[in-house]
Amino acid sequence: MQEIELKFQIPPASRASLSESLRDAASATTRLRARYFDTGDRLLARSAFALRLRQEGEGWVQTLKGRGDGLMTRLEHNAPLGTDSGDAAPALSLERHAGTPAGAALLALLDSAGRTPADLVLQFSTDIIRTHAEVEADGAVVELALDVGQIAGGGQTLPVWEIEFELVRGAPTGLLSMAYLWTEAFGLWLDARSKAERGDRLARGVTQGDVPAVRPVDAAQPWSRQVAVALAPVLALVGDVADDLASPAQRVALAQALGVLAQTLRAEAQAAGAADTVAALAGMVFDAAIWRRTETQALWLSLLEWSLPADAR
């Protein structure tokens, strides 16, 4: 199964009003306590996998997330475990993901590195209160999930205040429309960093992420695919830049990725204005506030729509 979702950070000034708006949408509240596993040398994190055991209310779920497209889509498999263990976490077992694309991908990864499931150990944990509701948008159903809590690892904690938009059914454009409305109303800013990625950093005692590879796009591919490929490294970097955590190498990579993206956009007349905006942003990689502006988020959402295959719009 693949999940389609976007995550946004919530500025402190908007947190109370956003929480109230979500409560008005017939929401429910669930406590989520999760434990994340990896090898000692971070094989899963380095390969964009996440493996967790999470208590959701009274029951436990084991979840494996695999590499996605870097935009909205990611490989995922959930294995509900019931309530027999109570508050005690059940033992981790990769057999629960047997016969699934995500499970096969993880076993192949471990095998390629000469590792076994026994090498997977606890790295960090999260404790989150999730307020969630399903809403309709342009013929689609989207789950809004406000997560408030903390990540703990390496003897440190990191606060969490973020909202996720996940497509339940319908077209991804419905998700994008809903995200645009809430971004405009509450000043949200797009952040591709998952809790797993942030927890991995916390456990290692680092604040900056890896520098993604920036490559030319394949002009033989459909334009939507070119946009998706060019946009992926940009979105991988903007979270750290908006948080003013990015290293000089990350900022240089972002400027390079924006250049590739601008060139890609110029191939279509409808994207000429967006191409100019993207090119201008390449000179602003040291200005964190620019990357949190509502206008910048609207740009990302437009580009995400252009990155969709024609039959998904």
Q: What is the DSSP string of 243-272?
A: TT---HHHHHHHHHHHHHHHHHHTTSGGGH
Number of CB atoms found within 10 A of residue 24's CB: 9
pLDDT band at 12 (very low <50, low <70, confident <90, very high): very high
Domain ranges of the chain: 2-186, 209-312
pLDDT for 58 equals: 84
Helix (H), strand (E) at residue 101: helix 101-112
Closest CA to 65 of 87, 37, 40: 37
pTM assigned to the model: 0.92
Write down the pLDDT at residue 313.
67
**Whole-angstrom Cα distance, residue 45 to residue 62?**
17
One DSSP character per residue, 127-149 reads EEEEEEEEEEETTEEEEEEEEEE
Fold (CATH) for 2-186: Hypothetical Protein Pfu-838710-001 (2.40.320)
Read off the pLDDT of each residue in 24-39 and give the average, rounded to a whole number.
92
pLDDT of residue 73: 85
Average pLDDT score over residue span 197-207: 95
* Cα-to-chain-centroid distance, residue 270: 28
Q: What is the pLDDT of residues 69-128, one digit of tens each?
A: 668 888 899 999 977 667 788 999 999 999 999 999 999 999 999 999 999 999 999 999
Residues 65 and 165: beta-carbon distance below 8 Å:
no
For 121, the 3-state DSSP assignment is strand
- Give 289's Cβ-side CA count (13 Å radius): 0
Write the pLDDT tens digit of every residue in 231-276.
Answer: 999 999 999 999 999 999 999 999 999 999 999 999 999 999 999 9
Pairing of the two strands 156-169 and 28-38: unpaired
